[in-house]
Amino acid sequence: MALRNSDNLAVHKHDSIEVWQIIPLLLAAILLTIGLAMFMSGIQHAVDVVQPIIVVFGGTLVALLITFPLAQLSHALQVALNRGIRGGTSPEEMARAMLKVCDVSRREGLLGVAEVRSSSAEVERVCHLIGDAALESEIQHTWSRSQASERMVHQMAMDIFVFTIVYAILIGALASIVRMVSTDAEVLTGVNVLPFVSGVSLAILTTMLIGRLRSVHMRELVVVDIAYKSASIILEDNNMQRLRSRLAMLVPVGLRK
């Protein structure tokens, strides 16, 4: 976050996603799935894995496009990139930002806080509340809306990735069954079960991503608490030492560095 007085506050901004940012993410998922599928099935040549991977990835993508609107799929990719890869915002980052906002309020008053500009929309909203000398009820209302928005953002992404797991396993199992009934070779060979193994591999990677996103979601909820609790404290008493001690209590032990 950049203040108008050129101070730099490290609060991440969730930018809109670009095509060039999606491609490395998809390539990494495909390569990891190929490697995991080769290890689990005992296949030694990567060429043998290409067709099952195409079937699993292509089938899963088509199923997702049929199930969800394109805007929601794009949103899920953006969440995966910003939170799954970049890690989102840490409570310590928001706490440092609020301490600097408190310092601005001490030096320039509430009108100075209202003029603060940030790369974080959350910080700017809080600064506007402080600059307007908002009542506690208004701060609580905005806080509730931000919490609800964060939960909705998280849930929309989770729906996509949960269905990705289900579709990957089902499509992989179906492809393996088709191979088994259409070949004269032994049923339980590595080649025949490879589509199912590929689907399970994709499901494992997606489950890891879900775990990562759940962890980041919990941090984001704490970040929202810190932002709006800071607004109340600054309007009540803009003492930086008191603010620092009170914000420290808002960060759970498991989220502290």
The answer as to whether 7 is a domain residue is no
Query: What is the C-alpha to C-alpha distance for residues 87 and 83, in angstroms, rounded to an integer?
Result: 4
Whole-number pLDDT of residue 247: 80
Distance from first CA to last CA of the chain, Å, rounded? 21
Q: Which two structure tokens, joined as six digits, stand for 7?
A: 């101070």
Nearest to 63 by CA among 214, 168, 202, 136: 168
Total domains, the chain: 1
Domain assignment present for residue 6? The answer is no
pLDDT band at 54 (very low <50, low <70, confident <90, very high): confident
Asked if 191 and 49 touch (Cβ cutoff 8 Å), the reply is: no
pLDDT score, position 15: 46
Report the alpha-carbon distance of residue 205 to residue 34 in Å, rounded. Answer: 11
- pLDDT tens for 7-53 read 444 454 444 445 455 666 667 777 777 776 666 666 666 666 778 88
Question: Torsions phi, psi of 42, nearest 5?
Answer: 85, 10
Q: How many CB atoms lie within 10 A of CB 35?
A: 13
- The C-alpha angle with vertex 44 and arms to 42 and 46, in degrees rounded to 5, equals 115
Q: Is residue 190 part of a domain?
A: yes
Q: For residue 166, tell me if it sits in a domain.
A: yes
pLDDT at 2: 43
pLDDT of residue 14: 46
User: What is the domain range of residue 131?
Assistant: 19-255
The residue with tokens 């209202």 is 114
Q: Dihedral sign, CA of 64, 69, 70, 73?
A: negative
| pLDDT at residue 111 in the model | 75
Report if residue 5 sits inside a domain. no
| Separation between Cα atoms, residue 29 and residue 46, nearest integer Å | 15
Question: What are the structure tokens assigned to 61, written together?
Answer: 């993508």
d(CA 129, CA 76): 30
pTM exceeds 0.85: no
Asked if residue 13 is part of any domain, the answer here is no
Q: Tell me the pLDDT tens digit for each residue of 138-164.
A: 888 888 898 898 899 889 999 999 999
Cα 51 to Cα 194: distance, rounded to the nearest angstrom = 10
In a domain, 11, yes or no: no
Residue 111 lies inside a defined structural domain of this protein: yes
